[in-house]
Chain A
Amino acid sequence: MANAKTLPTMAVAEEPVINYPSPLKEFWLGFSHNKGAVAGLAFICLIVICALFAPWLAPYSPIEQFRDHLLTPPSWAQGGSSAFLLGTDEVGRDILSRLIHGARLSLLIGLSSVVMSLVPGILMGLLAAFFPRWIGQGIMRLMDIMMALPSLLLAVAIMAILGPGLINAMIAIAVVSLPAYVRLTRASAMTELNKDYVTASRVAGAGLFRLMLITVLPNCMAPLIVHATMSFSSAILEIAALGFLGMGVQPPTPEWGTMLASARDYIESAWWVVTLPGLTILLSVLAINLMGDGLRDALDPKLKRAA
């Protein structure tokens, strides 16, 4: 460590003119170059604010039923009321309030399922890279099997066993997104393992865990972060799909997909009940994907052309 501390000062002493931007600033320069990514980030910030301050931002409770105002159209439409900005649903609940509170659930489920698949995914991927023979083969075959099932079908199958509910939906989505993390970590760790700095660290006597987590892992993070963003967006889509099929979060909890489950009955009479929750899902997922593109450009220039 002593060496590492003295080196930069020496470099600065020799070439005092060059001011490298801090890593964070360099990242931001790369990221903000992509206009779509910035727009995506802005929208995500909006959603996060909605989620954090939902009880204060939402005009009503998401489960309060206004029995006198069933299926009120949005305020700008004919017959709308300014009391319900985006209208009410079939039992008179304020749609805007439900959407704002729904942001909490979608973000919560997305975030926890990403963490729940990222951590075991990284560990299994590292194990598979460090022990390619038995453990590695075993892990990769298992992942192949999981990849053979269409992800929504696997999630549905898991929900069929566990039963519907919030926690179970998180688990199902985490399990479904596991294989991609394992494969990604293993692939990048295996490329890193052949490099000199890993050999040097090994020769210097670094233990297995130090090699895995401190030497190799940080250098595999860029594609993992990019993939985590993308799988965050597909987690939101999957939880909404499960909710739509009636297997996800159960009503009256305001989840965006669950809000659409009964919407089919109102196709002819109340367009706002059908349109608004789906539009919210689409915009959030789109925003996250745009942000993911920007992250990829900023973090991993090698991948830029592959897109």
Chain B
Amino acid sequence: MFSFLLRRIGVLIPTFLGITLLTFTLIRLIPGDPIEVMVGERSLSPTLHAAAMKRLGLDQPIATQYMNYLGQLLHGNLGTSLKTQENVWVEFKTLFPATLELALAALAFATIVGLLAGIIAAIKRGSIFDHGVMTISLTGFSMPIFWWGLILIMLFSVLLGWTPVSGRLDLAFDVQPQTGFMLIDAWRAELADPSLNAGAFKDAVKHLILPAIVLGTIPLAVIARMTRSSMLEVLREDYVRTARAKGLSPARVIFVHTLRNALIPVLTVIGLQVGTLMGGAVLTETIFSWPGIGKWLIDAIGRRDYPVVQNGILLVASLVILTNFIVDILYGIANPRIRHAK
């Protein structure tokens, strides 16, 4: 186990260094003069230009620049936003819980519905339900999720008036961000001041439902398909036949003997959805004006706030790498064959 862990960490470090190299190169690949690009239409006097170059360290040799960049990163300095003059890490920290809350809700939705649909489709193979699940999941897999979001808003917010159009909470409520998770904050605010904040929790849930469904659609399709095929694979195994032959109840065969073994590949697939979720968050947050890091990055790109773009991407990538690393380790624990393979 220990050497397995070491091997994984051995891959983790060069990958992380590679990502820093990528985000470092990113800002230097911009055609033209970076300072002029950053200030936009306004022109700068040569002295101010030189001062800005010096301040950003752009006047030094490229290798020195990279070493400086790494040094800054190791000190936890991710630069400041050109727009707000706020530390990039501080901005990320405040916005990240919103994205995390959305992603967790989406993942919960996708996992619960996807597992159930996949399991039932596999048990009732060839039935109308099975065909239905497969068709819907292929449709979900092909879905342009930004359009899906618009359609759901049109249906549930505009036509039926069930859910709000955007944001995380109605402005009428007085909820102080403490954990950053709106569900928890709203719950606590409601308990603390029931007269003012009655219904805050329910309102937060209403705001969360549509974005979570939209973001969870593609993972849902992937999980349902994977669960179904993995279940079908395991249902063919000899030990399942043995379990049936010795007279175990069908529920026991499905849930104890089949599901546990079928879940291993499904778990990996769920872990791999983190990348999809982070990419999807960019679109979902834009549609629902959800104040998370996806919207933050898109806004930063829109106003050429390069320190935010550069290090925001670095942070998101590190997050994905780290999650995949954890999934890898968990997979190694769950399946000894992986752990001992070369």
Q: Which residues of A contact B (CB under 8 A)?
A: 141-142, 144-145, 148-153, 156-157, 159-163, 233, 237, 240-241, 244-247, 257, 260, 263-264, 267-268, 271, 274-275, 277-278, 281-282, 285-286, 289-290, 293, 305-307
Contact = CB atoms under 8 A, between A and B. Distances in A.
Interface stretch (B73-81, B106-114, B244-252, B271-279): B271-279
Given A148-B317, A152-B280, 14 more contacts: A148-B320, A149-B22, A149-B316, A150-B316, A153-B282, A157-B301, A245-B282, A274-B150, A275-B151, A282-B139, A282-B144, A290-B138, A305-B229, A307-B229
A8 B150 CA distance: 60
Contact of B287 (A237, A264, A293): A264
B225 A307 contact: yes
Most chain A beta carbons < 10 A, residue from B139, B150, B229: B150
Interface of B: 11, 14-15, 18-19, 22, 26, 29-31, 138-139, 141-144, 146-148, 150-151, 153-154, 158, 225, 229, 233, 275-276, 278-280, 282-283, 286-287, 297-298, 301-302, 309, 313, 316-317, 320-321, 324
27 contacts: A144-B11, A144-B18, A148-B19, A148-B275, A148-B324, A149-B22, A150-B276, A153-B279, A153-B313, A156-B301, A157-B26, A157-B309, A157-B313, A162-B31, A163-B31, A233-B142, A237-B142, A237-B144, A240-B146, A244-B286, A257-B144, A260-B150, A267-B158, A278-B151, A289-B142, A290-B138, A305-B233
Given A142-B18, A156-B301, A149 B144 contact: no
A278 B147 contact: yes
Contacts of A306: 229
A180 to B, nearest CB: 13
A244 B286 CA distance: 10
Contacts of B287: 264
A34 B138 CA distance: 15
Nearest to A151: B279
Contacts of A286: 138-139, 142
A244 B31 CA distance: 24
Contacts of B15: 141, 144-145, 148
Contact of B144 (A161, A241, A247, A307): A241
A241 B142 CA distance: 13
Contacts of A160: 301, 309
B297 A153 contact: yes
Given A144-B15, A156-B297, A289-B142, A282 B317 contact: no
A145 B20 CA distance: 10
B219 to A, nearest CB: 13
A247 B278 contact: no
A148 B323 CA distance: 10
A264 B147 contact: no
A251 B31 CA distance: 23
Contacts of A162: 31
Given A144-B15, A306-B229, A282 B276 contact: no
B144 A278 contact: yes
Contacts of B275: 148-151
B301 A281 contact: no
A275 B150 CA distance: 9
Contacts of A257: 144, 146
Given A264-B150, A282-B147, A289 B18 contact: no
Given A150-B320, A153-B297, A156-B301, A240 B283 contact: no
A142 B22 CA distance: 10
Contacts of B138: 286, 289-290, 293
A274 B151 contact: yes
Most chain B beta carbons < 10 A, residue from A156, A163, A246, A260: A156
Contacts of A233: 142
Most chain B beta carbons < 10 A, residue from A149, A260, A282: A149
Contact of A149 (B14, B146, B313): B313
Contact of A161 (B26, B147, B153): B26
Contact of B18 (A145, A156, A246): A145
Contacts of A142: 18
